[in-house]
Structure 1
Amino acid sequence: MEADAIIIGAGACGLMCAVQAGYLGKRVILLEKSDKPGAKILISGGGRCNYTNLFASDEQFISNNKHFLKSAFTQWTVEDTISFFETYGIQGKEKTLGQLFPDGKNAKDIVGVFTELCHDFGQQIICDAAVTDIEQTADGFSVSFDKGSKSRTLKAPKLVIATGGLPIPKMGATDFALRFARKHGLNIIETAPALVPLTITGKDEDWYAALSGNSVFCEVSNDQISFEENILFTHWGLSGPAILQISSYWRRGESINIDLLPRQSVVDLIEEERKHNGKLLLSTLLNRYYPKKFTDALGKFLPLEKQVAALTKVELETIQQTIHFFKVKPAGDKGYDKAEVMRGGIDTKELSSKTLECKSIPGLYFGGECVDVTGWLGGYNFQWAWANGYVIAQNI
């Protein structure tokens, strides 16, 4: 046996698993398909890396079994993540909504913590390693892989598959974990892009495209959930934090509602203005809350050049509906190329929530994005990956 465990995938989960195994005196070998470890970490948050969220709990995750997360999050908490990185010189700085970024550092520093610790612990990271075959043996697993023109086989009693999901194929994302799971009869919860921009086509396409680059603070909702953050208009539809969040809960054919002025009533604002300055144009009032280009675009629906005192009851109703109940029916999404994460994955019923070991294949563990656990935007998915890596390391 070359090691105590072989880890396929040197992403967030795999790297944390290797380091935590090192603390316990266990030797692991990481096989990474890309030319460097932590490729997806390096591009996260525009290279700044939102590495956890102060409010992370099972409430911010989508899964067929949300209770599955509780054991991992009890074993490795947000406080554990913060303490871990602080130990190695990464101080957290909160941005918005509990999002924690490295203060004065970036994603390279996050990856650097892991690669340096792997070096210190003697954990081997083999990059450009394309796994070609996995065989279950009497005493563990045999993993064959190609590196350049050479083929090699490693053996270990435990195997960890932490190869991520389908988003961002150009970064090396593959369906490796899903294919392996299906081959061995494990159930897969239907997968789809999540935290992904939504597209608009048809008669309204040009209206959205003309607003490209404009950002507006909104409440975006559907029958399941709502999010208050910015939306961003693009030449192909809608993006921005609020749209990415709702996309994880959206299904093709459904509509979403956008409240363009959350926490306020546009009709109340108009009525208040009528008392003091009835000659004020509706456009002037709305310009207080929106970029002028966006206000102008609302002219397709609203009587912008009318004085607030002259607005009729029917017009007030139209304004109310347009501002607070702006309905959008996306045509689709931008797919895995633009998705932050994957929804769905290996059914949690196939795994032990306490160890993440596969129930039907002893010694095999799945962690990270390939499992049917999908977090919100804002560091939640990293917290899940770190917790997975820690839990698996305790059991390999």
Structure 2
Amino acid sequence: MNTYDAIIIGGGACGLMCAAQAGLLGKKILLLERNEKVGAKILISGGGRCNYTNTGTTIANFISANPDFLHGIFRQWTVEDTIDFFEAYGIRGQEKTLGQLFPETNKAKDIVAIFSKILYETEQDIALNTLVKSVEKNADGFTVHVENPRGEYQYNAKKLVIASGGLPVQKLGASDLGLRIAKQFGLEVVGTAPALVPLTITGKDADWYSSLSGNSVFSKVSVAGISFEENMLFTHWGLSGPAILQISSYWRPGHEISIDLLPNFDLDNLIKQERQSGGKRLVSQLLNDYFSRKLVDALGKYLVLDTKIASLSKADAKLIVDTIHRFKVKPAGDKGYDKAEVMRGGVSTAELHSKTLMSKKIEGLYFGGETVDITGWLGGYNFQWAWASGYAIAQDI
């Protein structure tokens, strides 16, 4: 029977940062990971390149029942701390669009390698291919019962950290373990749902979207007063791409999404300018200046394309402007947890101390990363939360 300062369940971004920082502080940690290697989601993030933070991170980039909770964590570990930490171990960042920071090497495995190096040098224990069966609170701390290919074991520690992630993606070992442990100890869990996830279209319009599969268009996508301007991608099942993934975190079933297909232009003015110069061009020719031929042809379902602009009635001109700038979509649903980047909801921040992330009810029990009701936008924000929460926990265990 082994005893540790802390047991960390989950070898993802939060768990790895927590274990590394605790090791650097001289603590003895056991990291439990159900996969055959740590950092499984890190390794596939950003197409294997790992967008590990965002230079523009603020609490406005997160969804939570209480976003202000983030202040207590982000004061301890900033974006600059993330950049400095990785630079100290040889990884310099290169900024892509919208503040997204990637390793110059473009290799997510280099991020994971840093943590493996720290854990090795600080002599921490890692148990891979290990499934947590149950957790118990006792007078001295916690007992964790596990199972791996060699048999069943139990480990003891004064502190227990739940960094087991959310429900995406099952093939990478995702489960509801963290939520079950929270409920076991009587903690409130905010309702969960897939986030940063493609949206599906069914019914009479399904074939129209499917016919445009592969077409990408820069758009402004809005719902419930929230908007994102990025690329939107038509797919066989509906809509995806960064703009849709972002808005999906705010969309709720039954709600309608508004899409501005030409956010950087005023189509009403463009039509007026065409008329002033004679208006001899067809509607399709004007739209071809801004969209792919395939999308313009598809818009023929809604618009008169073969009419000269000079001949457009006021009603037809208004219909064109409204269709392009206020295209309405009512998604049937989303692609679920296996296609989602993250989970929305989780352990309520009201249950946790805002500096340490320890449970207010259970001494020595901590929750971090995706398990908590903190969901970032697409673009490195969720990693920044994972690193920061892992660091904050490590200071207290």
Partner of 1:165: 166
Mapped contact 1:197–1:243 kept (Cα < 8 A): yes
Partner of 1:379: 380
Shift of 1:305: 1.2
| Distance of 1:183 and 1:142 partners within structure 2 | 14
Tell me whether 1:359 sits opposite 2:385 in the alignment: no
Tell me whether 1:218 sits opposite 2:219 in the alignment: yes
Partner of 1:255: 256
Shift of 1:265: 1.0
Partner of 2:271: 270
Partner of 1:91: 92
AA matched with 2:69: F
Mapped contact 1:30–1:126 kept (Cα < 8 A): yes
Q: TM-score w.r.t. structure 2 length?
A: 0.98
Partner of 1:138: 139
Tell me whether 1:194 sits opposite 2:198 in the alignment: no
| Distance of 1:106 and 1:259 partners within structure 2 | 35
Partner of 1:22: 23
AA matched with 1:238: L
Mapped contact 2:343–2:375 kept (Cα < 8 A): yes
SS in 2 for 1:337: coil
Shift of 1:277: 4.6
Q: Deviations over 1:59-97 (max 9, x none)?
A: 110000111111111100000000111111111111110
Shift of 1:271: 1.1
Of residues 256-265 and 9-18 in structure 1, the stretch that sits farther from structure 2 once superposed is 256-265
Partner of 2:283: 282
Partner of 1:336: 337
AA matched with 2:104: D
| Distance of 1:140 and 1:11 partners within structure 2 | 23
AA matched with 2:226: I
Q: Deviations over 1:31-63 (max 9, x none)?
A: 001111000101101101000000111111000
SS in 2 for 1:289: coil
SS in 1 for 2:4: coil
Partner of 1:60: 61
AA matched with 2:337: Y
| Distance of 1:277 and 1:76 partners within structure 2 | 61
Partner of 1:393: 394
Shift of 1:153: 1.2
| Distance of 1:124 and 1:276 partners within structure 2 | 75
Partner of 1:40: 41
AA matched with 1:122: E
| Distance of 1:133 and 1:188 partners within structure 2 | 19
Partner of 1:182: 183
| Distance of 2:133 and 2:62 partners within structure 1 | 33
| Distance of 2:159 and 2:169 partners within structure 1 | 28
Shift of 1:362: 0.3
AA matched with 2:323: T
| Distance of 1:197 and 1:308 partners within structure 2 | 36
| Distance of 2:106 and 2:222 partners within structure 1 | 35
Gaps of 5+ in 2: none
Q: Deviations over 1:220-244 (max 9, x none)?
A: 0012300000100000000000000
AA matched with 1:225: I
SS in 1 for 2:316: helix
Mapped contact 1:49–1:106 kept (Cα < 8 A): yes
Mapped contact 1:224–1:249 kept (Cα < 8 A): no
Shift of 1:214: 0.2
Shift of 1:260: 0.6
Gaps of 5+ in 1: none
Shift of 1:170: 1.0
Partner of 1:101: 102
Mapped contact 2:163–2:368 kept (Cα < 8 A): yes
| Distance of 1:181 and 1:170 partners within structure 2 | 23
Mapped contact 1:90–1:105 kept (Cα < 8 A): no
Mapped contact 1:181–1:187 kept (Cα < 8 A): yes
Partner of 1:306: 307
AA matched with 1:123: Q
| Distance of 1:104 and 1:16 partners within structure 2 | 20
Mapped contact 2:179–2:346 kept (Cα < 8 A): yes
| Distance of 1:296 and 1:142 partners within structure 2 | 64
Q: Deviations over 1:304-350 (max 9, x none)?
A: 11111111101111001100110000000000010000000111111
Of residues 205-214 and 83-92 in structure 1, the stretch that sits farther from structure 2 once superposed is 83-92
AA matched with 2:248: S
Count of aligned positions: 396
AA matched with 1:34: N
Mapped contact 1:199–1:237 kept (Cα < 8 A): yes
| Distance of 2:362 and 2:107 partners within structure 1 | 38
Shift of 1:2: 2.4
| Distance of 1:393 and 1:86 partners within structure 2 | 20
AA matched with 1:146: E
Mapped contact 2:224–2:250 kept (Cα < 8 A): no
Segments of 4+ in structure 1 off by > 6 A?
none
Mapped contact 1:199–1:238 kept (Cα < 8 A): yes
Mapped contact 1:60–1:375 kept (Cα < 8 A): yes
Partner of 1:151: 152
SS in 1 for 2:166: coil
AA matched with 2:181: F
Q: Deviations over 1:178-223 (max 9, x none)?
A: 0111122111100000000000001100000000000000000012
| Distance of 1:370 and 1:304 partners within structure 2 | 50
